[in-house]
Structure 1
Amino acid sequence: MGVLVCCDCFFYRKSKTKPNGKKPPAEEKKQYLEPEFTKIRVVDFDLKELVVLPREIDLNEWLASNTTTFFNLINLQYSTISEFCTGDTCQAMTACNTIYYWYDERGKKTKCTAPQYVDFVMSLCQKLVTDEEIFPTKYGKEFPNSFESLVKKICRYLFHVLAHLYWAHFKETVAMDLQGHLNTLYAHFIVFVREFNLVDPKETCIMDDLSEVLCTPAPPPAPTPAPSAPASAPSPSSQNHVTER
């Protein structure tokens, strides 16, 4: 099957009652929002400082470098749980109340299993970031006029993969003690795409609860009060003397 070049998503809502009149089971609790997991990071500093465009760097060069890095890191992160993401366990590419569909080159909508969808994402990203006409690496080579739109497309796809990792495979990630890596990668990615408006907020809103927790800089620690000086013993001259009579 050829590489699919476009994707879209479809939002579905759970009905309040089943056909038999019974209420559906309560929505599964989002384990990735529990404080014991959200506080775990690989690094602990303001990511905003890490994504700001340096003065001496061209914007397209900065976008190209970071986009390529995020593609490699997210691909690596997914590979850690890929054995658990199968056509049987993940029959659709889901995240929260969203199912992601692909559209082929003829505009036909296709519902893929999650591993198929991720394979399409990574294959397309690999094709784009290694294309010298799109991501030039040689000195003097110009970026195409379509470069920013292609970067936005890549980032949108990569967000889908991150959202699926949290939604469907966070338990496996915790079992391998990799939640700190995933949290740091997600926060870095979200701060980056927000800085350069690379992904529509309507696309990322399904994970806003996590983004708020992971991307909000922690308040500075309260200053530690200086220890008070120990009370000194009174000097002999200050003591009252009693005279015998």
Structure 2
Amino acid sequence: MSFFNSIGRSMSRNPRAQKRSPTPTSATFPDMPPPPVPPSPASPVPSKPLYLCSPFVEAALVKGNFKTIVVLPKYVDIMEWVAVNVFDFYTNLNEFYGAISECCTQHSCPTMSAGPNLSYTWVNQDRKSVNLAAPTYIDYVMTWVQNLLDDENVFPTKSGHDFPQSFPSTIKHVYRQLLRVFAHIYHAHYPQILHLRSEPHFNSLFAHFLAFGREYELLDIRDVKGATNASVGVGLLWDKWREMGILEG
């Protein structure tokens, strides 16, 4: 069933639990080396990212195809299902970022990058695209999503209150922004994820996020893979997981 074709259906739901973002916690990395110096033009071509290398690319808490855990359960309203899952993705991603946030600074991450040739820009209140350091960009994203989650007009929690007509388009925008946070962490902070020995958890969260987004038409594959001349690093991870049978096309 298409999420975008179901917005007009009436619904009655049990109220969800109060939504609150966890306070990010800071992790200490006493043995982490300083950020690597970018190679000079004469340096050898760098090897592929760690998250594409074995055994890290195979690390996961869930075995098999993630299609099985994103299918709409019987008797569950599709709007409620999407809302609850988006809340969970946000909450878990917020916790992961909180754990590595001390390594994501204005100095180490002066741009919101997701690949060697790709940096995302933020659209400000004047509808102008501006370059922001990654921690500032991510703070804007997480604050914006939290405000949406706390808005009863967007994410109603009381029985009998319907989701707005704009809910699908809002969720698609949320999904695009959360994808960018995932992409930056994989590109710039996967060593810290490995240091915490959390790669099975983080890979499973991201694979679940991708599978759910594709199942309910929330994710454009072009956002995952990027343009030819500015590819997103996690686009290769998407392809690898498809080859492994973890994700579907």
The separation in 2 between residues aligned to 1:83 and 1:28, in whole angstroms, is 26
Instruction: Indicate which of 97, 115, 122 corresponds to 2:142.
Output: 122
What's the offset of the Cα at 1:67? 0.5
Alignment partners' CA distance in 1, 2:47 and 2:134: 19
In structure 2, the partner of 1:40 is: 59
| Deviation larger for 82-91 or 53-62 | 53-62
Q: 1:94 aligns with which of 105, 113, 116?
A: 113
Q: Which residue in the other structure is 2:237 paired with? A: 210
**How big is each residue's C-alpha offset from its partner over 1:54-103, in whole Å with a ceiling of 9 and x where there is no partner?**
23111111110101110001111111110100000000000013100001
Q: TM-score, normalised by structure 1?
A: 0.77
Q: Unmatched 5+ residue regions in structure 1?
A: 1-17, 219-245
CA–CA separation in structure 2 for the residues paired with 1:24 and 1:203: 31
Higher mean displacement: 50-59 or 123-132: 50-59
Letter of the structure 1 residue corresponding to residue 67 of structure 2: K
Structure 1 residues 133 and 85: alpha-carbon distance in aligned structure 2, compared to 1, 3 A threshold: same
**Aligned-partner SS, 1:94:** strand
Structure possessing the higher relative contact order (Cα contacts under 8 Å, 6 or more residues apart)? 2
Does residue 1:131 correspond to 2:151, yes or no?
yes
**Paired letter, 1:58:** D
Q: Which amino acid aligns with 2:84?
A: S
CA drift of 1:23 comes to 6.2
The alignment's TM-score, normalised by the length of structure 2, stands at: 0.75
1:149 to 152, 156, 169: 169
Distance 2:212 2:45 in 1: 34
Structure 1 moving runs of 4+ over 6 Å: none
Tell me which amino acid in the other structure corresponds to 1:217. G
- Give the corresponding residue for 1:180: 200
Higher Rg of the two aligned structures: 1
Residue 106 of structure 1 is matched in structure 2 by 126
Following superposition of structure 1 onto structure 2, how do residues 54-65 of structure 1 map, counting pairs within 5 Å? 54-65=73-84
Which amino acid in the other structure matches residue 30 of structure 1? P
Question: How many angstroms does 1:27 deviate by?
Answer: 4.4
Question: 1:68: which partner in 2?
Answer: 87
Tell me the alpha carbon deviations over residues 153-182 of structure 1, each in whole angstroms, 9 at most, x when there is no partner.
111010000011110001111111111111
Residue 103 of structure 1 aligns to which amino acid in structure 2? Answer: V
Does residue 201 (structure 1) correspond to residue 221 (structure 2)? The answer is yes
Q: Distance in 1 between matches of 2:70 and 2:142?
A: 23
Aligned to 2:103: 84
Look up the match of 2:24. none
- Unaligned 5+ segments in structure 2 are 1-39, 226-231
Q: Identity of aligned pairs, percent?
A: 36
